[in-house]
Amino acid sequence: MDYVFFICTDPEAPEPAPKEDNAEEWVAEVTASGARTTGHRLRGPEDATTVRLRDGQLLVSDGPFAETKEWIAGFELVTCADLDEAVRIASRHPMAKFGRIEIRPFWPTEY
Amino acid sequence: MPDDAVAAVVSATAKTERTRIVATLIRITGDWDLAEDCVQDAFTRALRVWRERGIPVNPAAWVTTVAKNSAIDRLRRSATEASALHEIVRSAHHAERTPVHDIEDDQLRLIFTCCHPALTMEARVALTLRTVAGLSTAEIARSFLVPEPTMAKRLVRARAKIRNAGIPYRVPPPSQLAERTAGVFAVVYLLFNEGYSASGGDSIVRQPLALEAIRLARLLVTLIARTPSMAPFEAEAAALLALMLLHHARSDARIDDTGEAVTLENQDRLRWDTAAIDEGLRLLRDVERQHEASSSRPGIYQLQARIAAVHMTAPDAASTDFARIAQLYGDLNAIAPSPVIELNRAVAVAMTQGVEAGLALVEAIDRSGELDGYYLVAASRADLLRRLGRTEEAAPHYARALELAPTEIEKRFFSKQLTDPHTEKGSPWLPLSQP
């Protein structure tokens, strides 16, 4: 199954310890195992732009669409057998400790 | 073949084998609704066919085969599922050659899947009752005081999450086994407590749920004993069963003839179920023996079963070893810290080191706000003040308990305490002297 991991911040999580903040190692390992297709860290909500089209009119505004303390700091596209394997892989990402990770399965599409 | 003899065999087979057959069908078809429908149909057919042709040598195998064949037929009829059919025929063939112990594993797979932490607790409980215990949606809805369509929707939603999120149908991998097994125990114990203390409505006992929880714990003990990888959890499973049996033994004595609750302190101990107590104590002794042999730390259910055993072996309330109980709650708080456990410890301290000492601890918990909205904090505080003869100070806490109490029978009790503060009865909802 294909899953997106949303790597999120969590104000209640502990501050990242420099030594354990090793997302690069996780990326290298999960990519080498063949499970990770792509993924990236993202710039913060201060650099976000929200776009809406309403009654034919384009509305562009600064910031994320919802005011929240937790925001998406990155995403990873991971393919694995089932949710238990996805949980196992996600639990080893440093942001499982210093933030939180939301696992979302792809909407199934016939090609 | 007389009809009632056939009906008896069908219902006995359903009682002992239904879960295993459903579990196997889910593994083969990967479709929970289809599996349950086909097993239901197979039992209905058994009733008719066995009356005509006699009861087969192995009734469970007959039902399994009929259910499996009807699942294959149904998938075959929906032509678009060609690939699903290919898969099912392949795995059905494979299943026939699978050794017996692997088939028994299906029930563990089912239980672990029903209790998966990616499902809400409500969904886990509902799914376990529906699929493992075999209760009807209507029965589950009644037990949880929700309309049947609400419960049906909850079950549909749970099955959809299993399918869509890719929750696997298997015993979890070793790295997740300890947490997931604890999660299964938690679902069973929550079910028991729902039955035992009924979180709403006008009864404090919803026996059927407590009995289902005990039945599930028995099943778990059996399945774990058969599964080598589950050996580390054998003792805690037995301890959980022992704990529930020891509590359940008091069921009849908890309500008096007028329908009012009776405190543990005031219960007629002759009305306790000695068979349940004996079984609980025997299980606990076995657990303690294993525990000594392995020099492992006692688990949370083992400690709670020890506490229950101290209560249940005291000849009367006054000679209960509360010092031991206070110490056991301390041990429990050390491995699973919780303000509720600390509250229980505080009450045990009141019974052994003096009411003032216990009251000070209860007041500290109340002030901390950690258990805000939990009626037993107010109830305990009120009861200890009453025991000290400080009835005026007790009144506002009884009022708070009255407001927060979840069941009518408890509300009646607290309102009686308010209007008649000199009543002899202790609070039945003091954590330690719960009915």
Of B408 and B333, the one with more pLDDT:
B333
- Those residues of chain B whose CB sits closer than 8 Å to some CB in chain A are 116, 118, 164-168, 170, 172-173, 175-176
Supply the ipTM of this predicted assembly. 0.87
Angstrom distances, CA of residue B295 to CA of B235, B284, B288:
12, 16, 10
A111 found inside a domain: no
Which pTM does this prediction carry? 0.86
Q: Is the pLDDT of residue B329 over 80?
A: yes
Bridge partners (DSSP) of residue A78 are A3, A36
Distances (CA, A) of B34 to B3, B115, B130, B306: 28, 20, 14, 44
Rounded to whole angstroms, the Cα distance separating B308 from B310 reads 5
State the amino acid at position B20 in one-letter form.
R
Closest residue of B to A1, CA-based?
Answer: B166
Helix axes B100-114, B174-197, angle to 10 degrees: 60
Q: Is the pLDDT of residue B21 over 60?
A: yes
Using CA of residue B215, residue B221, residue B227, residue B229, what is the dihedral sign?
positive
**CA proximity to A26, closest of A101, A106, A99, A91:** A91
Give the mean pLDDT of chain A. 92
Query: The CATH number of the domain where A97 resides is what?
Result: 3.30.70.1060
Number of residue pairs across A and B with CB atoms under 8 Å? Answer: 31
Average pLDDT over residues B91-114: 69
Q: Which secondary structure element, helix H or strand E, spans residue B44, and what is its range?
A: helix B32-53
Q: Could you tell me if residue A18 is inside a domain? A: yes
Share of chain B above pLDDT 70, in %: 88
Residue A86 forms part of a structural domain: yes
Please check whether residue B141 is in contact with residue B151, taking contact to mean a CB–CB distance below 8 angstroms: yes
Neighbour tally for B88: CB within 10 Å: 22
d(CA B239, CA A68): 45
Instruction: For residue B174, give how far its alpha carbon lies from the nearest alpha carbon of chain A (Å).
Output: 11
CB < 8 Å to B83, chain A: none
Whether the per-residue pLDDT at B309 is higher than 60: the answer is: yes
The conformational region for residue A39 under phi > 0 = left, psi -120 to 50 = alpha, else beta, is: left
Query: Between B109 and B76, where is the model more confident?
Result: B109
Q: How far out from the chain centre does Cα B427 lie?
A: 25
If one counts the domains in chain A, the total is 1
The answer to whether position A8 is within a domain reads yes
To which H or E segment does residue A72 belong? strand A72-79
**Is residue A19, in this structure, part of any structural domain at all?**
yes
Tell me which residue of B213, B274, B272 sits closest to B244, measured CA to CA: B213
d(CA B234, CA B241): 11
A38 belongs to a structural domain: yes
Average pLDDT (A28-55) is: 94
Distance, in Å, from the CA atom of B5 to the CA atom of B9, rounded to the nearest integer, reads 6
Residues of A in contact with B158 (CB under 8 A): none
Contact between chains at A82 and B164 (C-beta distance less than 8 A):
no
Domain span at A72: 2-105
Q: Which two tokens stand for residue A60?
A: 């562009």
Residue-wise pLDDT for B66-94, tens only, equals 999 999 888 888 755 556 555 555 555 55
pLDDT of residue B81: 54
User: Angle, nearest 10°, between helix axes B339-353 and B322-335?
Assistant: 160
Chain A nearest C-alpha distance from B404 (Å): 30
Which residues, in sequence order, are bridge partners of residue A50? A61
Query: What residues in B contact A105, CB-CB < 8 Å?
Result: 164-166
Q: Which residue has the higher pLDDT, B226 or B95?
A: B226
Interchain CB distance below 8 Å, B166 and A83? yes
Collapsing DSSP states into helix, strand and coil, what is residue A8? Answer: strand
Average pLDDT over residues A76-88: 95
User: Which of A18-22, A78-82, B123-127 has the lowest average pLDDT?
Assistant: A18-22
Is A81 in contact with B176 (Cβ distance < 8 A)? no
Domain for residue A110, yes or no?
no
Angstroms from B118 CA to nearest CA on chain A: 9
Answer whether A87 sits within 8 Å of B175, measured CB to CB: no
CA distance from start to end of chain B: 48
> Which residue among A3, A84, A105 places its CB closest to the CB of B168?
A84
Mean pLDDT of chain B: 87
Chain B residue numbers touching A87 (CB-CB < 8 A): 118, 176
